[in-house]
Amino acid sequence: MANTRFVFRALGVALVAVLICAGCGKASGRSVGLLGSTSIQPFAEVLAEQYTKKNPGHFVEVQGGGSTAGLQAVANGLVDIGMCSRALTAEETHQFTPILIARDGLAVVVNRKNPVASLSIEQLRALFAGRVTNWRDVGGKDGPVRPITREEGSGTRESFVRLVMGKERISRRALTQESNGAVKELVKGDPAAIGYMSLGLVGGELAAVAVEAAQPTVKNVLAGRYTLVRPLLFVSKGAVSPAARSFVDFVLSSEGQRLLETEGLVRAR
């Protein structure tokens, strides 16, 4: 089953790459292709929309697929820029050039009917490892805990594992979803659920719990009080095309950084 899932994911990345290449033909020499993290995707789409408004005739295609898929696409020369929502490994830093576009708080989310408002790192680890299976054991109501996690290869999952789980594994009983949106929908409809996602995508439909007594806010991320923080990266392999460089410059400009702040992220600079 795992091998089958990997094959279909690889085929999906290949298909997306074909679509990107087809779209790039619309604006030869002024087109940019991005693929990767579904956490970065909605923010990149906002940036791309504003960029193309300011630069008529330029074309920016943004696709998801996950951080690992983005790195693979860049490595194979299928896109200009990969989107990665985790720190690169030591091996990856030798292969790719990372560009920090923003920082993101990793929010732990529960249903709005769940009274649990604060958890420690150890409690989070126990909940997602399956060692705590009833909400009453962490100050909630008597009832089962249903952890929601992201798929293997997701930058969001890898960041959560690094920041929370350490050497402990996420329980096999955790329900796996392949996007922030899917996690959001499940938690929104299930009072027993707990998940994690980009702080900038939480909105008002879920409750984001405090971690180690620190609320997940941009202010607390900036002050270093909220510690579940990850980098959001654009990744390239060597020098990028002039069109890609122009888009990256826009993202890192004051205007681009203000847009990301408006969307709930913390500016890179």
- The string of pLDDT tens digits covering residues 186-216 is 999 999 999 999 998 898 999 999 999 999 9
Asked if residue 134 lies in contact with residue 235, where contact means CB atoms within 8 angstroms, the answer is no
pTM, two decimal places: 0.80
pLDDT for 238 equals 86
The CATH code belonging to domain 105-229 is: 3.40.190.10
pLDDT for 102 equals 96
- Domain boundaries defined on the chain: 2-103+231-267, 105-229
269 Cα distance to chain centroid: 19
pLDDT for 29 equals 64
Cβ atoms within 10 Å, residue 8: 10
On the question of a common fold for 2-103+231-267 and 105-229, the answer reads yes
CATH-assigned architecture of domain 2-103+231-267: 3-Layer(aba) Sandwich (3.40)
Residue 206 Rama label (left phi>0; alpha psi -120 to 50; beta): beta
What residue ranges of the chain have pLDDT lower than 50?
A: 1-28
Distance CA 35, CA 45 (A): 11
Cβ atoms within 10 Å, residue 209: 20
Radius of gyration of the chain (CA): 19
36 Cα distance to chain centroid: 9
Q: How far is CA 98 from CA 155, 171, 209, 227, in A?
A: 14, 31, 31, 22
* Amino acid in the structure at residue 31: S
Asked if residue 51 lies in contact with residue 247, where contact means CB atoms within 8 angstroms, the answer is yes
pLDDT for 172 equals 95
Asked if residue 230 lies in contact with residue 240, where contact means CB atoms within 8 angstroms, the answer is no
